[in-house]
Structure 1
Amino acid sequence: MGKLRSMGKTSDLYVEVPAGQFLFREGDSGAEMYIIESGSIAILRAVRGSEPLAVLEPGDFLGEMAILEDQPRFASAQARADSRLLRIERAAFAELLRQNVEIAVRIMRKLALRQRRAELRVGELQQELKQLRAGSPAPPVPVAPAAAPVQAVPVAPAAAPVQAALPVAASVAAAPVLAVVPEPIAAPPPVVASRVVADIAAAAPAPVIPVVSPPAAPAMPPAAAGLALVHAASGQRFVLEPGRAEFLVGRVDPVTGITPEINLGPLDTARSLSRRHAKLLRQGALLFLREEVGTANGTFLNGQRLATGAAVPVKPGDSLRFGTIEIVLAAL
């Protein structure tokens, strides 16, 4: 593993990994986990070659199994882009969980997801094994040898004279028995309906086939550029920076030092907001809202609670609620 460079005033906590460099390799000993602040990390295993098991993004964590099990690294971690990660040593892990319940919840969900995927994979392998067994050829059945080979009977040409009946009968009796293969019989012509039935069918009106118009395409949200989140109670505005692909909504995390792009912490008098509460995602001209894993008090769009991890489109005029904080998406 290449040398990791530290940076900033928290140089003992953060590491930088240039694109293409390994954070750690499969089989290495490890006593720390990492939380991705920026960049992306690919998880690789030797048995899979260059195909990654997963690609982790900002907010994801890795290396926790080395802390929980005190075992060598299960896989390698390689930076796909220049990445900055928070390093958490084993000695500080328990204190981190006590101070940040969201991280504990996310670790449990990640472990549950791994177990569910493993169970699904085992079921698929068992089904494939059953299909292989069902499709295997049956053992060969022994066949008794034929009593005598079938001999060809010479056929006299058409112009040859007809032989006497008695010699022919005698020769037939002495010849071996031949298998007679019947010629295929042509299929009978299709039955034609009677003239009366045909006339009635011709006189009947043709059935009317209803024409169903395709459903109208749902209205798409307008362009995501030139938007802001407006807190109605205070009038505070949070402008969505043009050109940025995603915006984390939440509050400052004192443990990791991460400040979200939309910091609603000063407005959260009821302390209902999670540190990594939700994300606004810009995809081309569209804007989507997604609740992050570990959010405790819910994310709402026009009064409807969102399912965790599900990205839903939003447009100007929509009412968003993060915990107890009411926000309106407005066009600039």
Structure 2
Amino acid sequence: MKDFAKYKVGYKRGDRIFTESDAGENMYIVHSGRVRIFRVIGGLQVDLALFEKGDFFGEMAMFEHRPRSACAEAVEETELLNIDPPTFADMIRANPEIAVRMMRKYSIRLREANRKIEELATLSHTLAGVEDIPAPRSLPTPPPPLSAAAPHATLVVEGSGRSYPILQAETQVGRMDHVTGLKPEVDLSAEDVSRHISRRHARITYREDRFYLSEEIGAMNGTFLNGEKISQQGVLYPLEDGDRITLCQLHMIFRVEPSATSTRA
């Protein structure tokens, strides 16, 4: 899908992309801008999701051949890729990784839907006067923190000079997902205003007394270690003090200092 210009469709702020119950079999990929998904209930607009660059929507109508289940509207000046079923099939055949990315996004959406259902159920029981309601369990368990003996590691962004500490044994690096409200341990949203870095782009792992870098499955636009592109997603690559990590076009230096505990030892 190298020649994607022919699929681009532009929308101005407030333009309606489709309305609930409209017929349609095409899906959309956000190339730039933002799109909100909402339903009209009792005369009120209820927001369901906010999609930005790299997100897709409208696929339910394409897969199920049913009318649109919600409305879509451009929040700002927006460009979308309008994908019909034959084009989508060609995309999957040419690049199976697209299917992996879609599955991961579905997983995130399902987890968020489960969380909202549990919150609504808890609220319903509370209003009914039921006591001892268990708290929602769908929020992900945070990764374990580094041990006191582990070295102090940071990512220093070239240009801005900002430092991002590595505090967990499994540290996810990427951008905040405004659809779900989830954000990685190292949130580079402030560094990547053009939103080229994937929300879950890379991971830094501390294992057996050393750090490793890996690219997350489904990440786009490349991960580089000392100028060499990481060719296999999910594979651990050893990290050393002073290594240069590049996510898309954002350059960072990996720094490691011995902990006070290990120094005294």
TM-score normalised to structure 2 length = 0.52
CA contact (8 A) 2:34 2:74 kept: yes
Equivalent residue for 1:224, pick from 154, 159, 168: 159
The answer as to 2:68 corresponding to 1:73 is yes
1 CA distance for matches of 2:189 and 2:110?
Answer: 32
**Structure 1 or 2: larger strand share?**
2
1:304 maps to which residue? 213
The answer as to 2:38 corresponding to 1:47 is no
1:30 is matched by which residue type in structure 2? G
The answer as to 2:125 corresponding to 1:125 is no
The answer as to 2:20 corresponding to 1:20 is no
2:103 maps to which residue? 108
2 CA distance for matches of 1:128 and 1:299?
Answer: 36
The answer as to 2:53 corresponding to 1:58 is yes
Gaps of 5+ in 2: 132-152, 162-173, 176-186, 206-210, 220-224, 233-242, 246-250, 254-265
2 CA distance for matches of 1:132 and 1:17?
Answer: 42
Q: Please show how residues 126-205 of structure 1 align to structure 2 within 5 Å.
A: 126-134=121-129
1 CA distance for matches of 2:192 and 2:63?
Answer: 43
Q: Pick closer, same or farther for the CA change 1:130–1:11 going to 2, 3 Å.
A: closer
TM superposition shift of 1:78 = 1.0
Q: Tell me which moved more, 299-308 or 9-18.
A: 299-308
Note the alpha carbon deviations across 1:41-97, whole angstroms, 9 max, x for none. Answer: 111211394453222111111111111111111111111121111111123222221
Q: Pick closer, same or farther for the CA change 1:224–1:54 going to 2, 3 Å.
A: farther
Percent identity (aligned)? 30
2:26 is matched by which residue type in structure 1? E
TM superposition shift of 1:26 = 1.5
1 CA distance for matches of 2:67 and 2:47?
Answer: 19
Q: Pick closer, same or farther for the CA change 1:122–1:54 going to 2, 3 Å.
A: closer
1 CA distance for matches of 2:156 and 2:244?
Answer: 18
1:215 maps to which residue? none
CA contact (8 A) 2:158 2:252 kept: no
The answer as to 2:124 corresponding to 1:95 is no
CA contact (8 A) 2:33 2:53 kept: yes
2 CA distance for matches of 1:17 and 1:44?
Answer: 17
TM-score normalised to structure 1 length = 0.43
SS at match of 1:96: helix
CA contact (8 A) 2:40 2:46 kept: no
Equivalent residue for 1:85, pick from 80, 86, 91: 80
SS at match of 1:59: coil
TM superposition shift of 1:130 = 3.1
2 CA distance for matches of 1:73 and 1:50?
Answer: 16
Note the alpha carbon deviations across 1:215-250, whole angstroms, 9 max, x for none. Answer: xxx989467359xxxxxxxxxxxxxxxxxxx99xxx
Q: Pick closer, same or farther for the CA change 1:90–1:290 going to 2, 3 Å.
A: closer
TM superposition shift of 1:107 = 2.1
Structure label with greater radius of gyration = 1
2:159 is matched by which residue type in structure 1? A
SS at match of 2:100: helix
TM superposition shift of 1:309 = 10
Q: Pick closer, same or farther for the CA change 1:309–1:130 going to 2, 3 Å.
A: farther
1 CA distance for matches of 2:81 and 2:50?
Answer: 17
2 CA distance for matches of 1:10 and 1:22?
Answer: 22
2 CA distance for matches of 1:224 and 1:309?
Answer: 27
TM superposition shift of 1:116 = 2.6
Count of residues paired in the alignment: 181
SS at match of 2:66: coil
Aligned-CA RMSD value: 4.5
SS at match of 2:20: coil
CA contact (8 A) 1:292 1:309 kept: no
1 CA distance for matches of 2:192 and 2:94?
Answer: 39
Equivalent residue for 2:230, pick from 303, 320, 323: 323
TM superposition shift of 1:308 = 7.1
1:27 is matched by which residue type in structure 2? S
Q: Pick closer, same or farther for the CA change 1:125–1:41 going to 2, 3 Å.
A: closer
2 CA distance for matches of 1:27 and 1:282?
Answer: 35
Q: Pick closer, same or farther for the CA change 1:292–1:100 going to 2, 3 Å.
A: farther
Gaps of 5+ in 1: 1-8, 137-217, 227-245, 248-279, 311-317
SS at match of 1:116: helix
